[in-house]
Structure 1
């Protein structure tokens, strides 16, 4: 926030932040490109809305590209996001607008929670608490966030529940109303949020259990007993709620299958791998560093500019504690995942709000001093930045990314009946994009048993295995083909008669 009384001075930093977010979020919400995981999750939610599968027996398709999840239902992840998204499908219908609206809601709720968390942390320093746009900007400036939010990842939803759990605990600890029974609703809500996080993406949603004790270590060791009490209440709420869920037989069967097939197998290094050996365990650390390169560069830049204006303010004690708290909480989210070598960049999402607040806290005092020093210059800088953001956004909107597989799925609609099973060449079966786009856009399942299939998806490598004198070949984009078995013979027969 820029000090000043006029509306444009007060809200210009937020206008810039929102404009910056829209550079990537808006084009990605309007094109047909989505990462395979997000397409699969949207397909499962759509199917659930149509009564194909259920909450505790989610269904993707009759085929799946990985060898791990080929059971009668999809047990690769817990079903909460699928269930929530299926409600939107029931309301809106089978449209790609559903996942885009869902992603927008995730974005808005995430921003609100980051703002609330920042305000609660800085409530004793009102001048700094007003800079709510800064942690949001730092959050969305991480490559993993701006890539993942429009891609319908489960981690984005789980991040909301984890952040909300930590926020409820922070509110209770900051209130210091430890003798007021009604205030204990916050730890109870925090425990319920952990249940929701785990029902979205599994045990990685447990890290908010460490929040209260981290807070005590950073702020006041004398509160150790309170920290233990809160942690016990949060964990107790989680355990009782999860226990009640497990009493329901379909939930028990699903979660047992999920745990044995996903969690245990990942720990045993029998699923997807980020790498081999010790390096594989530290993949997320490398990704975290890749995400914060811009923040480190900005930190250096701000300190150089401050020095040139002879601003030598050191970080205040309260700000230092906020940095310590957020850094430790981010670590509590990341470190447990290093046990497994099944790691992907979007696994960082639950930790990144805290990483963002950490860097924003490092920036905020210098930013505040600089804006006080020259308000007009700050207004001019933000105004130029807004114009640049919208220039980039318009350029991206005018050059929308074309997705070949989405185009292929739409072309195949003209030949193949909805909800069919078509053949696919063996060498293409493990390409996830093929499975997810064909299922999302036309309910298609795939089989490598092509001998009896009327339609077969092929590429140049396997096209020679077909009888091109009898089979019709429909060219598709990106060197794919739809082979219609014996179609030429049928066409010739029809012409003859």
Structure 2
């Protein structure tokens, strides 16, 4: 009875989903189950948490009372969406982890939906939705970004949704087609409201389609203009609100113009080609796996390559869309590897389209050798349980990068009143410490050292200040900071 049920599982594609789940617990779950994140992610969680608790507003997000009391660095949609999670799930660190998981699941769902629609004429290819998912999940930038709450992850949901609707428009009746195109423009607008102009690449969909597949130029130009018009209508409506206009004036000046001119110092690179180098560094596993599939299929098919000519065109098309999402980043020297996140599902789909004939060939051939297939299935199940055990060890722990800071902030909870402003001096800017204090207690750190606040925190290595009006608090002697209380 058990044997029959097990065989049904492994002879279906469920065993590959078990393998995918194993990769999730190995690469993603450990970071989702522990406290502490990449500094950008904790900043965004802090701003969202502020918004959920009445600090700041949609068009005037706030980081702390002393640093970015009005945060114009990025459009506010991600903060507003994440603030809803804080309203629902409360203020624990699990809330931003739930949000990261939610974004990961929705992105996975969209990759599956796109894969199914572009392979609707081939049932063998259509059902191996785990192939593009695996190639996407195994990219370094993907498993770095999603547990770390970077804005690009939420942005990807809207740009992928826009691409999905544009694909749907290609196979729909004329009236429905134009409806999908119009809706796509709305999703592009929502993407811009997450991270700005980097969300505009779906505008290139029809021009690139024309380049690969030819077609009626007039019709494709009209469709492109409809996407743009839909986007502009949304943008025009938002700009009717004065607060929104003021926000975008500040945002364009602070983020876009200064980034292009090289006035922003964070993530500045020596070469505009840094982003392409980051792409190459992020894909060795996915690219290596794809090459192995093609080579094994070549030898398994009596040294004959297995490719699908129609898929070669599809692959080129989605690769170009992915490039349209990543190449424009080179306009600015302000670059980071995770800026590639919106393009990675499309690169993965393009690569999967290229290798899926080889994969399906190998899968069917492998399934015929039941003995080896059973071994593979048992190994996949064992791999899943091992990865779950590895991930489970992280529950209740703190990322070692942030451990000292989080423990220090937690230690001050019973001593320093919430919503305080503290004088603060350290060697470095300590961006994450600012975030943890605000995130956990709504405490702002004042680095201007005005001596006007009741508490003064000084990193021990730079504690050379004479504080006649302050008493040293001994309960923090085991930390890297001295904490002083004014008489």
Q: TM-score, normalised by structure 1?
A: 0.90
RMSD: 2.1
1:203 pairs with one of 193, 197, 204: 197
Deviations, residues 398-454 of structure 1 (Å, cap 9, x unaligned): 2554422111211121211111111111534x2211111111122111112152333
Kindly state the Cα deviation for residue 474 of structure 1 after the two structures are TM-superposed.
Answer: 4.1
Matches within 5 A, 1:404-423: 404-423=404-423
SS at match of 1:6: helix
Contact 2:15 2:377 in 1 (8 A): yes
In the alignment, structure 1 residue 350 sits paired with structure 2 residue 342: yes
Contact 2:19 2:383 in 1 (8 A): no
User: Structure 1 residues 226-235 or 378-387, which shifts more?
Assistant: 378-387
1:248 pairs with one of 234, 238, 241: 241
Report what 1:67 is aligned to.
none
Report what 1:494 is aligned to.
none
User: Structure 1 residues 186-195 or 463-472, which shifts more?
Assistant: 463-472
Deviations, residues 275-332 of structure 1 (Å, cap 9, x unaligned): 554x2x1111011001111122213322332234235243111210121011100110
- C-alpha separation between the residues in 2 aligned to 1:288 and 1:211? 21
Kindly state the Cα deviation for residue 274 of structure 1 after the two structures are TM-superposed.
Answer: 4.1
Kindly state the Cα deviation for residue 372 of structure 1 after the two structures are TM-superposed.
Answer: 1.1
- C-alpha separation between the residues in 1 aligned to 2:380 and 2:477? 42
How has the CA–CA distance of structure 1 residues 379 and 141 changed in structure 2, closer, same or farther, with 3 Å as cutoff? farther
How has the CA–CA distance of structure 1 residues 419 and 297 changed in structure 2, closer, same or farther, with 3 Å as cutoff? same
Report what 1:161 is aligned to.
158
- C-alpha separation between the residues in 1 aligned to 2:137 and 2:356? 17
1:298 pairs with one of 289, 301, 308: 289
Matches within 5 A, 1:115-130: 115-130=112-127
SS at match of 2:114: helix
In the alignment, structure 1 residue 441 sits paired with structure 2 residue 425: no
2:219 pairs with one of 200, 203, 226: 226
How has the CA–CA distance of structure 1 residues 379 and 329 changed in structure 2, closer, same or farther, with 3 Å as cutoff? farther
Where do 5+ consecutive residues of structure 1 fail to align?
Answer: 65-69, 491-497
- C-alpha separation between the residues in 2 aligned to 1:106 and 1:236? 28
Contact 1:474 1:481 in 2 (8 A): no
How has the CA–CA distance of structure 1 residues 382 and 266 changed in structure 2, closer, same or farther, with 3 Å as cutoff? farther
Contact 1:319 1:361 in 2 (8 A): yes
Report what 2:3 is aligned to.
none
- C-alpha separation between the residues in 1 aligned to 2:7 and 2:313? 31
Deviations, residues 332-387 of structure 1 (Å, cap 9, x unaligned): 00111100011111110100001111222222111111111121334532441342
Deviations, residues 49-76 of structure 1 (Å, cap 9, x unaligned): 1221111111111123xxxxx4x41111
In the alignment, structure 1 residue 264 sits paired with structure 2 residue 282: no
In the alignment, structure 1 residue 97 sits paired with structure 2 residue 94: yes
Report what 1:495 is aligned to.
none
1:215 pairs with one of 197, 202, 209: 209
Where do 5+ consecutive residues of structure 2 fail to align?
Answer: 1-5
Contact 1:315 1:365 in 2 (8 A): yes
Report what 1:85 is aligned to.
82
- C-alpha separation between the residues in 2 aligned to 1:147 and 1:364? 26
Contact 2:59 2:76 in 1 (8 A): yes
Report what 2:185 is aligned to.
191
User: Structure 1 residues 136-145 or 13-22, which shifts more?
Assistant: 13-22
Report what 2:383 is aligned to.
388
Deviations, residues 129-185 of structure 1 (Å, cap 9, x unaligned): 11100111111111111111111111101011001101101111133x23xx24311
Contact 1:114 1:353 in 2 (8 A): yes
SS at match of 1:239: helix
Report what 2:278 is aligned to.
287
Contact 2:169 2:176 in 1 (8 A): no
Contact 1:63 1:447 in 2 (8 A): yes
- C-alpha separation between the residues in 1 aligned to 2:416 and 2:339? 37
- C-alpha separation between the residues in 2 aligned to 1:183 and 1:406? 51
